[in-house]
Amino acid sequence: MIACMAVVELGGAVASADIVDPPGAAPGAPANTPPLPLPAPAATPEPGWIQLPLRATELRLSGYAKLDANYDLRAPQGFYMDVPNIPLRGTPESRLRGTTTLHVRESRLVLQTRTRTGSAEVGSFLEADFLTAEGSETQTNSTHLRMRRYYGTYGALLAGQTWSAFMDLDAIPDTVDHEGPSGQIFIRQPQLRWTVPLGARRELVLGVENPSSDFEARPVGSSATPRHRWPDGTGRLTIAGGWGHVSVSGLARELRSDDGAGHAGAALGYGLGVAGSVALGEDRLLYELNGGRGIGRYVLDLGGYGARWDAEGQVAPIPAWGGFAAYQHQWARAVRSTIVYSETRVYGEPIADPASVSSMVAPANRRTQSLHVNLFWDVADQVEVGVEYSRGRRETTDGGSGVAERLQLGIRFYLVPRR
With bands split at pLDDT 50, 70 and 90, how would you rate the model's confidence at 291?
very high
pLDDT per position as a tens digit, 232-281: 999 999 999 999 999 999 999 999 987 776 677 899 999 999 999 999 99
**Residue 37 has what pLDDT?**
40
Are the C-beta atoms of residues 254 and 211 closer than 8 Å to each other? yes
Q: Is residue 44 part of a domain?
A: no
**Residue 95 has what pLDDT?**
84
**Residue 364 has what pLDDT?**
87
H or E element, residue 122: strand 120-129
Q: Is residue 38 part of a domain?
A: no
CA angle 341, 346, 352 (to 5 degrees): 150
CATH of residue 83: 2.40.160.10
The better pLDDT of the pair 331, 352 is held by 331
Classify 355 as helix, strand or coil.
helix
Taking residue 255's Cβ as centre, other Cβ atoms within 10 Å add up to 27
Query: How large is the average pLDDT for residues 288-316?
Result: 90
With bands split at pLDDT 50, 70 and 90, how would you rate the model's confidence at 223?
low
The better pLDDT of the pair 192, 224 is held by 192
Pairing of strands 57-74, 99-103: antiparallel
On average, the pLDDT of the chain sits at 85
Q: Is residue 101 part of a domain?
A: yes
pLDDT per position as a tens digit, 5-54: 333 333 333 344 455 443 333 333 334 434 434 344 444 456 788 888 87
**How much of the chain, in percent, has pLDDT values that exceed 90?**
62
Domain of 78 in residue numbering reads as: 49-414
Q: Is residue 31 part of a domain?
A: no
Query: How large is the average pLDDT for residues 366-390?
Result: 97
Amino acid letter, residue 196? V
Q: Is residue 133 part of a domain?
A: yes
**Residue 9 has what pLDDT?**
34
Radius of gyration of the chain (CA): 22
Distance CA 342, CA 296 (A): 16
Which of 93-97, 98-102, 360-364, 373-377 is the most confident on average? Answer: 373-377
Are the C-beta atoms of residues 402 and 88 closer than 8 Å to each other? yes
pLDDT per position as a tens digit, 101-141: 999 999 999 999 999 888 789 999 999 999 887 777 777 88
Half-sphere exposure of 177 (CA within 13 A, CB side): 31
pLDDT per position as a tens digit, 165-207: 999 999 999 999 999 999 999 999 999 999 999 988 999 999 9
Pairing of strands 307-309, 225-227: unpaired
Q: Is residue 81 part of a domain?
A: yes
Are the C-beta atoms of residues 326 and 285 closer than 8 Å to each other? yes
| Close Cβ partners of 131 (under 8 Å, ≥ 6 residues apart) | 79, 80, 105, 106, 146, 178
Distance CA 353, CA 337 (A): 45
Q: Is residue 5 part of a domain?
A: no
Number of structural domains, the chain?
1
Report the candidate in 234, 235, 338, 332 with the shortest Cα–Cα distance to residue 277.
Answer: 338
Q: Is residue 13 part of a domain?
A: no
**Residue 20 has what pLDDT?**
44
Q: Which own/partner pairs from 327-330 qualify as long-range (CB within 8 Å, at least 24 positions apart)?
A: 327/283, 327/284, 327/285, 327/286, 328/14, 328/28, 328/173, 328/174, 328/283, 328/284, 328/285, 328/286, 329/283, 330/28, 330/282, 330/283
Q: 323 vs 148, 180, 395, CA distance in Å?
A: 24, 12, 17
Q: 226 vs 4, 265, 304, CA distance in Å?
A: 31, 10, 11
The better pLDDT of the pair 92, 201 is held by 201
Half-sphere exposure of 61 (CA within 13 A, CB side): 3
**How much of the chain, in percent, has pLDDT values that exceed 70?**
84
